[in-house]
Amino acid sequence: MEPASHSFEELLDFTLKRMEAMKKEGVRWVSVNPDWLSPLEPANYHSPVQEREKSDSTSPSAPPTPRSREVPPLSGLQKPALKTGERKIDSSGPETANPTSSRNQLAAPKAKTKPLDLQKLSDQELNAGMDRLRAEALQCQKCPHLAESRRNVVFGVGNINADLMFVGEAPGMDEDLQGEPFVGKAGQLLTKIIEAMGLSREEVYIGNALKCRPDTPGQAYGNRKPTPDEIANCLPFIEKQVELIRPKALVALGASAVEALYGEKVYITRIRGQRRDYRGIPLMPTFHPSYLLRNSSHAVKRLVWEDMLEVMEILGMPISEKQQGYFKK
């Protein structure tokens, strides 16, 4: 019998369908050799035709990578040239990027690193600065496709004098409709987390790295991860918000928020809970609430809660025994 011959696209299509089916069956993780994923990362992907046409071997060799790692089904297989339709790309949980690889650096402009003057601004300076920034954001056209598709620019909400500021990824459908960050299901969970800390939404400030909902042409539902260019275009807004508010602590919700603020690729599973410094402000990276919605195990909730306990400590907030014990068995 003749061995079946399949084109690359057929094999990829088959793999995607199989993984979609596994995902429906509840499979959340599969072991994949990173060497197999590497060619599928957008920066590395060449169509089979391009691959054949590439006659020289000037591409840099891949950095050493672990022999195998766990990735969510589909997450390593996103690439722009496929015709398989739009898929939800989720950046709130474990990542697929290799943080040691230089090709994972985000597009310019570089994230700011200069330490901030953390002395709070006067109310007058703060209000004027925030009003100016909001006005600028509301008429921003730097991403014409997003300016075209958005219903609202989702600038930020809360206390501009806050000691605690949360940074998320980008508005979803609910946020786009209401013009306020974190009002959908993930937002309701974030509100609960804030309240469990003994605070209210009104006392903290909540913003996103991207102020417009990433468009999903042809789809009423679904989210996608912002592109590096979109993040780069929008970065000055969140940077300026931090510069104006000068919070005593920052919480970055999910990988995209960390990546935007630091201009580097990260695995959120590796860095969550590891307190960082953002221009002189302590920053706690933690899982995005939408990741918690999908992975509602006690253990994962406890991890996020431990991150919040540390943030409370940074802020010098009292922590009750009840709060200490949340999500402990």
Position 247 contacts ligand URA (CB under 6 A): no
Could you tell me which residues come within 8 angstroms of residue 142 by beta carbon, excluding any fewer than 6 positions away?
233, 234
Q: How far is the CB of 81 from ligand URA (least distance, A)?
A: 27
Q: Tell me, letter by letter, the H, E, C secondary structure of 14-66.
A: HHHHHHHHHHHCCCCCEEECHHHHHHHCCCCCCCHHHHHHCCCCCCCCCCCCC
**Considering only residues 90, 169, 306, 310, which one is a binding residue for ligand URA as defined by CB under 6 A?**
169
Q: How far is the CB of 169 from ligand URA (least distance, A)?
A: 3
Residue appearing with tokens 């003057």: 117
Position 186 contacts ligand URA (CB under 6 A): yes
Q: Is residue 177 a contact partner of residue 135, using CB atoms and an 8 Å limit?
A: no
Q: How many residues does the structure list for the chain?
A: 329
Closer residue to ligand URA (CB): 107 or 293? 293
Give the three-state DSSP class for 132.
Answer: helix
Q: How far is the CB of 44 from ligand URA (least distance, A)?
A: 27
Position 286 contacts ligand URA (CB under 6 A): no
Position 175 contacts ligand URA (CB under 6 A): yes
Position 182 contacts ligand URA (CB under 6 A): yes
Position 208 contacts ligand URA (CB under 6 A): yes
By Cβ distance, which residue is nearest to ligand URA? 168
Q: How far is the CB of 314 from ligand URA (least distance, A)?
A: 22
Q: Determine if residue 327 is left, alpha or beta; phi over 0 gives left, psi from -120 to 50 gives alpha, anything else beta.
A: left
Q: What is the largest CA-CA distance in the chain?
A: 81
Enumerate residues 254-283 that contact ligand URA by CB under 6 A: none
For β-strands 164-168 and 249-253, DSSP reports them as parallel
Closer residue to ligand URA (CB): 34 or 237? 237
Which residues of this protein are in contact with ligand URA, per CB under 6 A?
Answer: 168-172, 175, 181-182, 184, 186-187, 208
